[in-house]
Amino acid sequence: MKAVRRSGYFGPNAVIPVVFVVMGAVGMNSMHAQVQTNGAAKQEQVTFTKDVAPILQQKCQECHRAGSMAPMSLVTYEETRPWARAMKQRVETRVMPPWHLDKTVGIQHFKNDLSLSDEQIDTIVRWVDAGAPLGNPKDMPPPKVWSNSDGWQLAKQFGEPDLVISSDPYTMPAHGQDVWWKPYTAVPVTEPRWVRAVEIRPATSAGRRIMHHVLARLQQDEPDQRSSLFVGTDTQNDGPGLLMEWAIGKKYDIYRPNTGKLLLPGSHIWWELHLHAVGQEITDHAELAIYLYPKGQEPKYRTYLMAYGANQVDDGPLLDIPPNSIAETEGYHVLRQPARLENFQPHMHLRGKAMSMEAILPDGSTQMLSYVDHFNFNWMTNYIYADDAAPVLPAGTVLHITAWHDNTVNNPNNPDPNQWVGWGDRTVDEMAHAWVNVTFITDDDYQSWLTEQKSKQIASAAVPAPK
């Protein structure tokens, strides 16, 4: 696999200071003595109640609790203790929590960062190595209160959704081939309305077992404004594009302030539910919650969910993955107008290994924006850039998407490394694209942003170094 270790910056002429914390040299004798003196005490100090439980509440229990999607609960000591060694292995290898981004390159500030810090990983490892002690029960933090799993996640922020649209149901037999269910549902709006957030979910917990992904395409009559905004063979972006894509690891999209998507009267949702058999007959449907801006409030920017392919040719998507090989493919997409990228979500199937998104700027310089170096098909994690880290790019920028597929015996998810694999919808076929919410802005907006960034750099440089 080609090494991807490129440094970059997040806007033309921008200089992002990188701060390295360097530990001063310590004499080997004194260090050894300190380890001998403090090591045993530190091991004793790490307990479940004081040290581990807060980490689990912050990073793990959203899934690892009764009634949620994980196979075991990690709420109490009694529930967690049997899984201690497995926890150590999973966090040391960064398999869990599901945050598969390379932390050494590209943007590292996200709104939804699930990853553990090095310190948190070290705490869990030392706890397990010490025998996973309980500690003082009085140190146990109060149980975290979780919202009803049947409720909408965004209701805490926006209240109940303004619209809830359901697909027609489908009964998936206990055994059979994958199914792509594509019903059509009207959107009940009688005047133009702007969307500020969307959320998709299977209607029942049983439905989560059979749904691989759900697409909600927005179908409405309007001029295709995007044709003048970008160049690329993005055949999956018809009309106004996708309202949202759901998969395990992604629940909702929140658009930045003064940004949204437009619903017009007469619009419809064209669903795509990718369903697979799980040994039990299950009937379910998908639900889409839409949160609207108040009537009369019109955001300045319109955002589009794009599928930027790493395998696009003139006739559409193409993949050629020989047996027993690691294949590399790439695609290029030109922005005709300045734009801000809101997120990065790689989409591949069982042979997916890694994907990167790089910006090639008009001056020929490059920025590595994001690199998922250990993609996991079971977690379609969406990496949502923090407001102050989202890349803002000038017109003429080329988005370079590179994907790697591992069709060898070394890939534990590979159903058959002796098979040739091409592009296709089935789980045993492959795909290679990045879902990216793109907000196109004007040239004046871009110049204002550039001026603001330069002012921040000057102000930062004027701050005296601490003594």
Show the domains of the chain with their CATH numbers.
34-139 (no CATH), 156-299 (2.60.120), 301-459 (2.60.120.230)
Under DSSP, is residue 255 helix (H, G, I), strand (E, B) or coil? coil
271-289 pLDDT, tens digit each = 999 998 989 999 999 999 9
Euclidean distance between CA atoms 312 and 325, whole angstroms: 20
Q: What is the pLDDT of residue 351?
A: 96
406-416 pLDDT, tens digit each = 999 999 999 99
DSSP letter at 35 equals H
Residue the block writes with tokens 């920028």: 397
Crossing angle of helices 28-45 and 118-129, in 10° steps, is 70
Stretches in the chain below the pLDDT threshold 70:
1-44, 147-150, 222-241, 249, 312-316, 459-467
Neighbours of 79 (CB within 10 A): 15
Phi, psi values for residue 61, rounded to 5°: -75, -15
Q: What is the pLDDT of residue 402?
A: 97
Q: What is the pLDDT of residue 16?
A: 32
Chain length of the chain = 467
Euclidean distance between CA atoms 434 and 412, whole angstroms: 23
Q: How far apart are the first and last CA of the chain?
A: 45
Q: Which distant-in-sequence residues (6+ apart) come within 8 Å of 78 by Cβ? A: none
| pTM of this structure | 0.76
Euclidean distance between CA atoms 271 and 183, whole angstroms: 6
Residue the block writes with tokens 């209607």: 203
